[in-house]
Amino acid sequence: MTQTGHKRIAVLGAGSWGTALAALLAANGAEVRLWARDCDQAAGIDADHQNARYLPGVTLPVGLRATCDLSWAVEGAEQVWLVLPTKILGGFLAEHASELPRSAIFVSASKGFEPGSGARIDELVERALGDVAFAVVSGPTFAIEVAHGKPAAIAVGSRDAAVAESVAAALRNDHIRCYPNDDVIGIELAGGLKNVLAIAAGVSDGLGFGANTRAALITRGLAEIMRLGEAMGARPETFFGLAGLGDLVLTCTDDHSRNRQFGLRLARGESKDEAVAAIGQAVEGIGAAREGHRLAQDRGLDMPITEAVYRVLFEDLPARQAVTELLSREPRSRES
């Protein structure tokens, strides 16, 4: 540590969210090393104090160093933040397990599930690294707004209250509020599945169904996430908080959301691959739809919005037909 209370933190993943978090942590006084897979990208960030590809126009703090040398990035780190696409995270952790310091707190800021297994990120970390300190951060936060210092609130989840407070202390300042929560399962499920609902909301809006339909999708989508959460041991109140309803509303209603933008593009007739290429960053809701569908099937749960998005993405169901079928479903005997 360079000063009392100042930590050395490694942030793995130099996309928009990883860079924004690294900038926030560095601005709060931490010595931050941002790791990028692309050495040219890392060199450019380190030399120019900007991530021109993902956060153009944002000047990064001088306390932030960028590198493609993983061993140097994590050397002496008290916290290792994981901000890599979930579809590659399990393989990355397995490949680099020997380089990652078991004494550090591992902090997940990614969202989604491992392809094929549906494993959550806390499960991926435990599988690769064993019993290490773990936290997850989530909530209604767009990278560009955090990077520009706009006010935001973040849920910090950990089964260890001291771990949650250590992570919250690294984030907290006069415009970032942090709320501890010990429901790691609930936070991870909410963060992964809200992207599926954002795709549905984008499709609905792109087809011109209007604000009433969007509100219905958000409300009923929250109900089906909660059904899965209950079956997997999460607490209901988590889904009404920042990591649940807060992040869900943000992602479904604002065009900064990549998943919402993806849905809008599908509604315009673009293919899945065309839409992803145009967005140029990971669209986590695609994989989350497949794994959410699998989790629901395994537990015999009714998750009609997740099912509809899955069918659009993987069974070639026309987007307009998917929304129409959802709206014409026989209502449940009571709202739940």
Q: Which residues are catalytic?
A: 194
CB 224 within 8 A of CB 189: no
Please tell me the distance from the alpha carbon of residue 77 to that of residue 118, in angstroms, as a whole number: 29
Asked if 158 contacts 124 with a C-beta cutoff of 8 angstroms, the reply is no
Torsion of CA 251, 271, 15, 89, to 10 degrees: 90
Compute φ and ψ for 198, nearest 5 degrees: -65, -35
Cβ–Cβ < 8 Å for 48, 42: no
Taking the CA atoms of 39, 286, 17 and 256 in sequence, report the sign of the dihedral they define.
positive
What are phi and psi for residue 335, nearest 5 degrees? Answer: -80, 120
> CA of 15: how far to CAs of 75, 274, 319, in Å?
21, 20, 29
